[in-house]
């Protein structure tokens, strides 16, 4: 580890008076703020995806809609036929654990709450339902399955909700990749700013550095002083950034919870997620320190 | 040279030239061999190249041609780390002191010990001792920029000798002090020399050269001649 407390006690380089310190502090604060909010987004999307995937995995429902035909008997037979073919297709799927076509009784029981006891179901154009239990860990390509089902049973339709959820999952996963790219970008831009301000500072303190070198100081001795200073700036900037980000994250969460439908409800930040966000100053301090350290080593090798 | 040749020279220059950028050579074809434990004055008019020659000896200025060896190592082939280690064995008093103005006298003198990683307790002991010896003990914690010229000079000398260097290079250390103090400083250098330190002192001070009988390295017209102790040549310019 490059960090040595022993040598951080003396600071021959008057780095605390560098005018770039304020710039770096503000820069790091803004970066950590953006990082924290984006990270909260990534973590929220993640927990949402976990919940959605859990509800999407496990099971799926296929519905066979009645054929419209004036001959009710014939239409009913056609529907049952399609149901059988659909069941055959679904059972053949390697991901399927158990495929059950719901019986008339079961259908009636499902509908009773809406229709009451007096309605004769046989008089109504009732759809048939097939319940498919999936093996654990199985992932279904809904679009492909829907297409396959259409060839054997044109009246079959996949559970709408899940199809829609599947699209939402893809969207959220894309959003997550984008957010991760933003996180990398924020780290990159901040490291770049630290790189250039450190280089400028080295030029500014050339006289002192020359003296240190002539006294026999190695580059690491100088690099440690920069690392110490910049680690401090990284920590302070990080604390300011997180302090600003936490209320904003709460505000966004509050606004999101007002959306009806319970989609966003799944996007809770866990204890671990909050811990990660709150410990960002440690991270920013480390990144700042490492960047400054290697900038000094690299620049000095070229400069003198 | 009349000195014994049995021991290996501590500094050796062979056909060395120094130039700045694309300018003319300040010194050309310099051959010089300093024995361990020797004491030399370095003389020459202003602009003759005394500071340039010294800065090469403390491994800052690189020779633009020729070979420079120090402690038996060819400097042309030394890497950054070993250069640092060599520099720790060389004490330098600069013409303009080059102290760190924003830190205390104590921190300035402690610097050579800190860069070589000595523990603070030992540093405190050694530095306070030396500062007392050069009579700066009242103002050790004062920021260097508030010290008088004479005090700064003593701090600069203390910094140069704190780690008992093998080589001591002083660039006109008696430049702006009166003769009494100059003689006192010289006696310090002589004491160090007796302990084994190789000493080179650039100076204009004729009284010192006459009083202390040491050989002179004379720079003139880009060339170097050695004038043995106690002798005066007509072409020796101070
Ligand atoms: N950093 C430098 N850049 C360019 N020329 C220099 C530099 N240092 C010294 N010189 C030139 O080299 C010559 C010798 O200078 P210096 O070594 O300082 O002589 P002295 O110390 O004997 O007065 C002078 O002509 C001076 O102008
Ligand atoms: Mg000079």
pLDDT band of A248, cuts 50, 70, 90: very high
* Interface predicted TM-score of the whole assembly (ipTM), two decimals: 0.92
CB A304 within 8 A of CB A296: no
B58, B100, B158: best to mutate for the A interface, most A CBs within 10 A = B100
Q: Which two tokens stand for residue A21?
A: 């310190």
Contact B100 A217 (CB under 8 A): no
Asked if A214 and B120 come within 8 Å (Cβ–Cβ), the reply is no
Rounded Cα gap, residues A32 and A187, in angstroms: 9
Nearest ligand to the C-alpha atom of residue B45 = 1
User: Which residue in chain B has the smallest CA separation from A304?
Assistant: B60
Q: Which helix (H) or strand (E) holds B10?
A: strand B9-19
Q: Could you give the angle at which helices A219-257 and A271-278 cross, rounded to 10 degrees?
A: 140
Give the pairing type, strands B223-227 and B216-220: antiparallel
Q: Any CB–CB contact under 8 A between A303 and chain B?
A: no
> How far off is chain B from A6, nearest CA to CA, in Å?
9
Task: Count other Cβ atoms within 10 Å, centred on residue B193.
Answer: 16
Give the per-residue pLDDT at A17: 85
Nearest-CA distance from A302 to chain B in Å? 11
- Residues of chain A found within 8 Å of residue B96, distances taken between Cβ atoms: none
Ligand lying closest to the C-alpha of residue B219? 1
Burial of B126 (0-12, 13-18, 19+ CB in 10 A): middle
Q: Are B85 and A189 in contact (CB under 8 A)?
A: no
Residue pointed to by tokens 């976990």: A50
Q: Which of B213, B212, B205, B206 is nearest to B229 (CA)?
A: B213
pLDDT tier, B176 (very low <50, low <70, confident <90, very high otherwise): low
Nearest to B80 among A7, A215, A301 (CB): A301
Question: Under a CB-based contact definition with an 8 Å cutoff, are residues B224 and B30 in contact?
Answer: yes
Instruction: Look at A50-59, A99-108, B26-35, B147-156 and tell me which has the smallest mean pLDDT.
Output: A50-59
The dihedral built from the CA positions of residue A165, A171, A176 and A177, taken in this order, carries a sign that is positive
**Is the CA virtual torsion A293, A294, A295, A300 positive or negative?**
positive
User: How far is C-alpha A203 from the chain's CA centre?
Assistant: 42
Q: Residue A209: exposed, middle, or buried by beta-carbon count in 10 A (0-12, 13-18, 19+)?
A: buried
Ligand 1 pocket, residue B51 CB under 6 Å: yes
- Residue among A48, A41, A35, A49 at smallest CA distance from A253: A41
- Mean pLDDT for A175-195 is 95
Mutation test residue for ligand 1: of B47, B60, B223, the one with most atoms within 8 Å of CB: B47
Q: Is there an atom of ligand 1 within 6 Å of B49 CB?
A: yes
Q: What is the pLDDT of residues A9-66, one digit of tens each?
A: 568 898 988 889 999 999 999 999 999 999 999 998 888 888 777 776 677 888 888 8
Between the CA of A85 and the centroid of ligand 2 the distance, in Å, is 102
List the domain boundaries for chain B.
Answer: 99-164
Give the H or E element holding residue B92: strand B90-93
Residue A216 sits at the chain B interface (C-beta within 8 Å): yes
In this structure, are residues B165 and B133 in contact, taking their beta carbons and an 8 Å threshold? no
Ligand 1 geometric centre to CA of B51 (Å): 7
User: What distance in Å separates the CA atoms of residue A109 and residue A131, rounded to the nearest whole number?
Assistant: 15
Q: Alpha helices of chain A — where are they, by DSSP H? A: 5-8, 20-56, 72-92, 104-115, 142-152, 160-204, 206-214, 219-257, 271-278, 280-303
Query: Is A14 in Cβ contact with B102 (below 8 Å)?
Result: yes
Q: Which ligand is in closest contact with the Cα of B175?
A: 2
Given ligand 1 and candidates B16, B18, B20, B28, which is best to mutate, with the most ligand atoms within 8 Å of its CB?
B20
Reference B50, options B217, B231, B175; nearest CA is: B217
Mean pLDDT of chain A: 86
Pair B235, B220: CB distance under 8 Å: yes
pTM of structure: 0.80
Q: Do B80 and A217 touch (CB under 8 A)?
A: no
Is A12's CB within 8 Å of B100's CB? Answer: yes
pLDDT over 90, % of chain B: 70
Could you tell me which of B85, B84, B91, B128 has the C-alpha nearest to residue B110? B128
| Cα B48 versus chain centre, distance | 17
Query: Residue B107 to residues A139, B102, B112, B158: CA-CA distances in angstroms?
Result: 68, 10, 10, 11
Predicted confidence (pLDDT) per residue in B31-87, tens digit = 999 999 999 999 999 999 999 999 999 999 999 999 999 999 999 899 999 999 999
Ligand nearest to the CA of B95: 2
Nearest-Cα residue of chain B relative to residue A225: B115
At residue A4 the predicted structure's pLDDT band, cuts being 50, 70 and 90, is very low
Indicate the helix (H) or strand (E) that contains B109. Answer: helix B105-115
Q: Across the interface, which of A7, A9, A214 has its CB nearest the CB of B60? A: A214
Judging contacts by C-beta atoms under 8 Å, the chain A residues touching residue B89 are 216
Output the CA B81–ligand 2 centroid distance in Å: 28
Least CA distance to B120: which residue of chain A? A6
Per-residue pLDDT at A74: 83
From the CB of B55, is ligand 1 less than 6 Å away?
A: no
pLDDT of residue B115: 94
């Amino acid at each position: 580890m490059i960090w040595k407390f022993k040598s951080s006690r003396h600071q021959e380089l008057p780095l605390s008076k560098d005018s770039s310190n304020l710039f770096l502090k503000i820069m790091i604060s803004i970066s950590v703020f953006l990082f924290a909010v984006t990270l909260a987004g990534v973590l929220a999307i993640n927990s949402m995806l976990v919940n959605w995937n859990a509800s999407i995995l496990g099971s799926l429902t296929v519905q066979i809609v009645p054929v419209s035909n004036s001959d009710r008997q014939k239409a009913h037979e056609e529907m049952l036929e399609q149901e059988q073919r659909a069941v055959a297709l679904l059972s053949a799927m390697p991901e399927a654990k158990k495929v059950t076509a719901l019986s008339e009784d079961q259908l009636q029981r499902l509908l009773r709450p809406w229709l009451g006891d007096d309605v004769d179901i046989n008089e109504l154009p009732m759809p048939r339902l097939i319940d498919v239990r999936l093996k654990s860990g199985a992932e279904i390509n809904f679009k492909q399955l829907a297409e396959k089902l259409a060839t054997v049973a044109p009246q079959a339709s996949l559970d709408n909700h899940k199809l829609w959820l599947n699209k939402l999952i893809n969207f959220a996963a894309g959003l997550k990749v984008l957010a991760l790219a933003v996180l990398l970008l924020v780290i990159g831009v901040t490291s770049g700013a630290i790189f250039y301000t450190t280089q400028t500072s080295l030029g500014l303190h050339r006289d002192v550095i020359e003296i240190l070198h002539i006294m026999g100081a190695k580059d690491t001795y100088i690099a440690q002083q920069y690392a110490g200073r910049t680690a401090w700036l990284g920590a302070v900037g990080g604390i300011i950034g997180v302090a600003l980000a936490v209320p904003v994250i709460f505000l966004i969460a509050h606004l999101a919870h007002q959306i009806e439908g319970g989609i966003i409800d799944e996007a809770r930040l866990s204890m671990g997620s909050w811990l990660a966000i709150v410990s960002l100053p440690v991270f920013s301090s480390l990144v700042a320190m490492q960047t400054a350290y290697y900038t000094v080593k690299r620049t000095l090798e070229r400069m003198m | 040279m009349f000195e014994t040749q049995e021991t290996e020279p501590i500094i050796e220059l062979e056909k060395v030239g120094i130039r700045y950028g694309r300018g003319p050579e300040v010194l050309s074809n310099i051959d010089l061999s300093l024995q361990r434990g020797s004491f030399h004055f370095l003389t020459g008019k202003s602009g003759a190249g005394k500071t340039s020659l010294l800065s090469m000896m403390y491994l800052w200025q690189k020779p633009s041609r020729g070979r420079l060896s120090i402690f038996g190592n060819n400097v042309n082939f030394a890497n950054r780390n070993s250069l640092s280690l060599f520099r720790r064995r060389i004490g330098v008093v600069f013409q303009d002191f080059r102290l760190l103005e924003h830190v205390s006298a104590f921190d300035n003198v402690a610097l050579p010990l800190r860069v070589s990683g000595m523990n603070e307790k030992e540093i405190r002991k050694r530095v306070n001792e030396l500062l007392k010896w050069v009579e700066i003990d009242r103002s050790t914690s004062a920021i260097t920029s508030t010290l008088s010229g004479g005090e700064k000079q003593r701090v600069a000398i203390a910094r140069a000798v704190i780690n008992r260097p093998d080589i001591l290079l002083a660039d006109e250390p008696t430049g702006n002090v009166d003769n009494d103090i100059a003689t006192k400083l010289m006696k310090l250098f002589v004491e160090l020399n007796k302990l084994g330190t190789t000493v080179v002192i650039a100076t204009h001070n004729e009284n010192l050269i006459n009083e202390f009988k040491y050989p002179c390295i004379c720079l003139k017209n880009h060339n170097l001649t050695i004038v043995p102790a106690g002798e005066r040549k007509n072409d020796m310019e101070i």
